[in-house]
Structure 1
Amino acid sequence: MTNAPKNQWKTLDKDLGRISRLEDATQFVSRGLVAPGLALAFVVLVAIVATVLIGGEQGAFIVIAAATIGAYMALNIGANDVANNMGPAVGAKALTLGGALVIAAICETAGALLAGGDVVKTVSTGIVAPGAMADSAHFIWAMMAALLAAALWLNLATYMGAPVSTTHSIVGGVVGAGIAAGGFGVINWVNIGSIAASWVISPIMGGAIAALFLALIKSRIMYADDKIAAARRWVPILIGIMAGVFATYLAIKGLKKIADIGLSSAVLIGVGTGVLSWAVSIPLIKRQSEGLENRKKSLKTLFGLPLVISAALLSFAHGANDVANAVGPLAAIVHAAQSADIGAASVSIPVWVMIVGALGISVGLVLFGPKLIQLVGSEITKLNPMRAYCVALSAAITVIIASWLGLPVSSTHIAVGAVFGVGFFREWHAERRLRRLGLDKGSVLPPEERKRRKLVRRSHFLSVAAAWIITVPVSAVLSAIIYLLLNAVA
């Protein structure tokens, strides 16, 4: 009789242990479903809001469907594209992942709502001939197919861990739908050729400029005898360059809603801002550098805050500029559904459409952005504040040069190309120093050891390059299939 209670409790403990393990397993499995579930809730919420706002208007069903797809596209832009702005700062440990997500979400939303232009050129006018679409219905199906195809490809690319261009994705979608609707002759292949050229121009230009700035920092600051004195002289200059570049960048790309600023005026604004920032930062850097040891590690402190500010400015400009990738086709669909006019050179974007784009980018960033932020920031090559600062500067300078030359470039390609440029420069510089110091004379390293010493992960280089190359073709094929299905159903 005395053993009965013990056996009873022992059995109960085993059962409770099994239940506890089952609960832990359930939580572990369901954890991966939280982000998709919240994303689905956001898309459903957008559909409900769109129904309330335009439920009784002409073409309401089409607009609601387009708003839902636009919300899905915005989520994927936030998940894939924003990593390029915040990745270097997180990889350099100037920002925590949580801090980067908060700053990026605020700046992306502010950029989209405050400086995202209230009028955009219809996506199809530069790619598809104006008379290619038979009527507004075909135009609507084409834009909807392009939007959905681009969103699906971005979703797949994010899942695979490949940072790709949202602009190229939507361009590919428009091309595929245009060909399905009117054949190859309706496409403006000159513009497509320019876009294809940017696949090569963007990363090379971004990488070269980032490498040049890193070479400057290494030669003038990091290898100086008195590193602190060199930093006091050069860091304010670099901050002035950063401020001037971003002032020019924001004037060109992000402030179209406030004023139409030409390139020459934007450069003058940038020069004035740069000189003022240089003068202000001299005493600040001098005060910040007091008591620092004369070694490379101390320099990271002086680049931390400028790097955070540059990442925030990049996010603001990205929100102002790239939100059009989500809301541009959506606005065109709304305009065509409500007015049946597909020949307008530009369409006004309703406020609620801008809000969908802005919030969608931020929600997508918070839910799915960490994966690519880690990839860009730390998995391609090791970044510190100086190297990440070079990446941010390169991204802004390359966009300005491209605008001046009239080249269609991708912010994604520029930023990721700059990260690769920094990494390849580090490899070249390390081997050069070894040769100069005579440390590798007569030494023949086996292939495995030489591969281990590489500072850029080749697997990421190949996978990213492959994803860039197939972005437009994959988006085009997906869009053509979706267009034919929509046209058949309608």
Structure 2
Amino acid sequence: MSQSHRSYSKLTLDKDLEKIAKVELATQFMSRRLVGLGVAVAFLALALVFASFFVGGLPGSVIIIAAAVVGAYMALNIGANDVANNVGPAVGSNAMSMGVALIIAAVFESSGALIAGGDVVGTISKGIIDPNNFADSSIFVWAMMAALISSALWVNLATWIGAPVSTTHSVVGGVMGAGIAAAGLATVNWPTMASIAASWVISPLIGGVIAAIFLALIKTLIIYQDDKIAAARRWVPVLIAIMAGAFATYLALKGIKKVIKIDIQTALIIGAVVAVIAWAVLRPVIAIQAKGLANRNQSLRKLFAIPLVCSAALLSFAHGANDVANAVGPLAAIVHTAGVGEIASKVAIPLWVMVIGAFGISFGLLLFGPKLIRMVGQQITKLNPMRAYCVALSAAITVIVASWLGLPVSSTHIAVGAVFGVGFFREWYTGNSKRRRRYVNKQKSLSGTSQPVVNYSELRRRKLVRRSHFMTIIAAWVVTVPAAALLSASVFLILSSIMG
């Protein structure tokens, strides 16, 4: 029978069929990637048509339409890179799926941009260059066009290599480089640039320290208690109330500042009131959720899932309201200067510009966002709902502290710094905590086993933060402003030589 089977088998044909199957699989994989690129190109074409409908036939319409396409490209890259920080921890901790995260982030980013994004933006991105130094309005237009192109290209490159970077810093670098190429070094406000450079260090450090502090509290008050569920009933309402108060303050300061101006004292009062109300409401809710849960860490994760979903939505809304206007600043500057013929430090943002920005972010997130979401949420260090809670809370508190101190900070650097802080704290705590060691030894004695439960020398050797990702991200942060500046200066010289 076996000889008959061998006589009918065609080894060459089988190999060929296997190769064809592999080619088909590869083709399907590539086609899925090409679909995303095709949709992105279609969106750029729609942005061109959309802009033509509003400015066609007006002075400077050709330049404005071209800038609108570049602005749409920039918005796609913001969605692909920057938004990952808001939902990455929740996805990495399995508090919600990738699909749910993409939908929530897309809806709330767009809502934040359109509802609370404001109608006025600084054209020179946080005052880093003096528009009065430009001899001609056309030079200013090409400088802003170069800044827009270079910042979009840099964020696209960062997304491709898997590095979450600050889009605001990319725009800052682009504006600075084009300004220097167009009007010289004297046009740059160097003290402002120094404060922005300081934020490269300040943002992730504050975010990491705050996240580590709250993770230490959770471990001390809940995780390494004999009765975890009783401890959770006592402390989880307090922790979630702190989160609710922090996010209420954060939204009051950043999320709706273009709708209504609220000072930090009023925002803190609002946050305190919200925190007290949340604590009163959540105490019985958490008590009900905790009934019947087993006395183990996996049970605690259920109590943090819903707050993480809410935090992802609120962070996305605040990001859309606060950062999109900065990103479309150069586009708004081009629209105003090309149409009116004068340079202004602040201009009104046309609604159609905000629509392109809002929908561009949503499309970029849906098409290309999962790569950076996985990076932030899963690949830097392992997150569970408690650790992700610390990251989300740190993002809100750090922005509040920075506003109080008057420091310019990056939401990207804060969130990723908080992930690093959680990971590095886990490394230290796992190998050095006496509380953890006593708890583990007690569990060993209760179980009656004579085998060592933990090899502490091995724990000290283990690295819970992937160093390769750490170095890649830090390097990308350091070079973002100078790289965007050099690229912008080069683009400006090319544009001015072609158009001059």
* Same fold? TM cut 0.5: yes
Q: Distance in 1 between matches of 2:372 and 2:156?
A: 12
Q: Could you tell me which residue of structure 1 aligns to residue 403 of structure 2? A: 403
**Which residue is equivalent to 1:152?**
153
- Residue 385 in 1 paired to residue 379 in 2? no
The superposition leaves residues 108-127 of structure 1 with CA deviations (integer Å, 9 ceiling, x where unpaired) of: 11111111111112225711
Residues 236 and 281, structure 1, Cα contact 8 Å, conserved in 2: yes
Q: CA shift at 1:41, angstroms?
A: 1.0
Q: 1:296 to 1:15 in 2, by over 3 A?
A: closer
The residue aligned with 1:40 is: 41
Residue in 2 that maps onto 1:274: 275
Aligned to 2:129: 128
Report what 1:3 is aligned to: none
Deviation at 1:268, TM superposition (A): 1.2
Please list the CA deviations of residues 154-205 of structure 1 after superposition, one character each: whole Å capped at 9, or x if unmatched: 0000000000111110000011001101111111110000011011100000
Distance 1:396 1:144, change over 3 A: same
The alignment partner of 1:87 has SS state of helix
Question: Could you report, residue by residue, the CA deviation over 1:392-420 in whole angstroms, capped at 9, with x for unpaired residues?
Answer: 00000000110111111100000000000
1:124 and 1:81 map into 2 onto residues whose CA distance is 17
Looking at structure 1, the residues matched to 38 and 464 of structure 2 have their Cα atoms a distance apart, in angstroms, of 38
Q: 1:303 to 1:132 in 2, by over 3 A?
A: same
Amino acid at match of 1:170: V
CA distance in 2, matches of 1:444, 1:387: 22
Counterparts of 2:139 and 2:299, CA distance in 1? 61
In 1, Cα distance between equivalents of 2:19 and 2:468: 42
In 1: Cα distance, 2:303 partner to 2:16 partner: 58
1:68 paired with 2:69, answer: yes
| Of 450, 466, 489, the match for 1:480 | 489
Q: C-alpha separation between the residues in 2 aligned to 1:12 and 1:219? A: 64
Label 1:291 to 1:176 Cα distance change in 2 as closer, same or farther (>3 A): same
Q: Secondary structure at the match of 1:93?
A: coil
TM-score between both structures, scaled by the size of structure 2: 0.91
Q: Following the alignment from structure 1 to structure 2, what is the Cα–Cα distance between the partners of residues 222 and 293?
A: 13
SS in 2 for 1:323: helix
Whether the 8 Å CA contact 1:125–1:345 is kept in 2: the answer is no
C-alpha distance 25-124 of structure 1, shift in aligned 2 (>3 A): closer
Deviation at 1:17, TM superposition (A): 8.8
Shift in alpha-carbon separation, 1:394–1:21, aligned structure 2, 3 A: closer
TM-score by length of 1: 0.93
1:375 aligns with 2:375: yes
The one-letter code of the counterpart of 1:103 is: I
In 1: Cα distance, 2:20 partner to 2:429 partner? 58
Shift in alpha-carbon separation, 1:210–1:14, aligned structure 2, 3 A: closer
CA distance in 1, matches of 2:244, 2:277: 9
Counterpart of 1:119 in structure 2 is 120
1:461 pairs with one of 470, 475, 481: 470
Shift of 1:444: 9.9
Deviations 1:60-117 (A, max 9, x none): 0011011000000000001000111111001100011111101111111111111111
User: Higher mean Cα deviation, 29-38 or 294-303?
Assistant: 29-38
Q: What does residue 352 of structure 2 align with? A: 352
Q: Tell me the secondary structure at the aligned position of residue 126 of structure 1.
A: coil
SS in 1 for 2:396: helix
CA distance in 1, matches of 2:282, 2:29: 49
Residues in 2 aligned to 1:423 and 1:302: alpha-carbon distance in whole angstroms: 21
**Which aligned pairs between 1:294-443 and structure 2 lie closer than 5 A?**
294-342=295-343, 344-433=344-433, 437=437
Measure, in 1, the Cα distance between the counterparts of 2:466 and 2:17: 47
1:130 Cα deviation from its structure 2 partner: 2.9
Does the C-alpha gap of structure 1 residues 173 and 301 become closer, same or farther in structure 2, counting only changes over 3 Å?
same
CA separation of 1:281 and 1:40: change in aligned 2, threshold 3 A: same
Separation (CA, whole Å) in 1 of partners of 2:271 and 2:311:
14
Separation in structure 2 between the aligned mates of residue 80 and residue 301 of structure 1, nearest angstrom: 29
Q: Which amino acid aligns with 2:489?
A: A
- CA shift, 1:25, in A, is 4.4
1:286, 1:444 → 2: CA distance?
36
From the superposition, tell whether residues 212 and 436 of structure 1 become closer, same or farther in structure 2 (CA, over 3 Å): closer
User: Would the alpha carbon gap of residues 345 and 29 (structure 1) be closer, same or farther in structure 2, given more than 3 Å must change?
Assistant: closer
The 8 Å contact of residues 70 and 147 in structure 1, kept in 2 or not, is answered as: yes
Does 2:78 correspond to 1:77?
A: yes
In the TM superposition, residue 387 of structure 1 has moved relative to its aligned partner by 0.2
Paired with 1:231 and 1:24, the residues of 2 have a C-alpha distance of: 48
Distance in structure 1 (CA, Å) of the matches to 2:81 and 2:224: 37
Give, in whole Å, the separation in 2 of the partners of 1:330 and 1:417: 30
**Counterparts of 1:219 and 1:474, CA distance in 2:** 44
| Kept after mapping to 2: 8 A contact 1:132/1:178 | no
Q: Which amino acid aligns with 2:79?
A: G
Cα distance, 1:135 vs. partner?
Answer: 1.4
CA contact (8 A) 1:243 1:274 kept: yes
Letter in 2 for 1:77: I
Report the Cα offset of residue 435 of structure 1. 9.8
1 CA distance for matches of 2:147 and 2:34?
A: 27
Q: Which runs of 5+ in 2 are unaligned?
A: 1-7, 442-451
Higher mean C-alpha deviation, range 298-307 or range 344-353: 344-353
Extract unaligned runs of 5+ from structure 1. Answer: 1-6
Q: Give the 3 Å change call, closer, same or farther, for CA 435–272 of structure 1 in structure 2.
A: closer
CA RMSD of aligned residues (A): 2.4
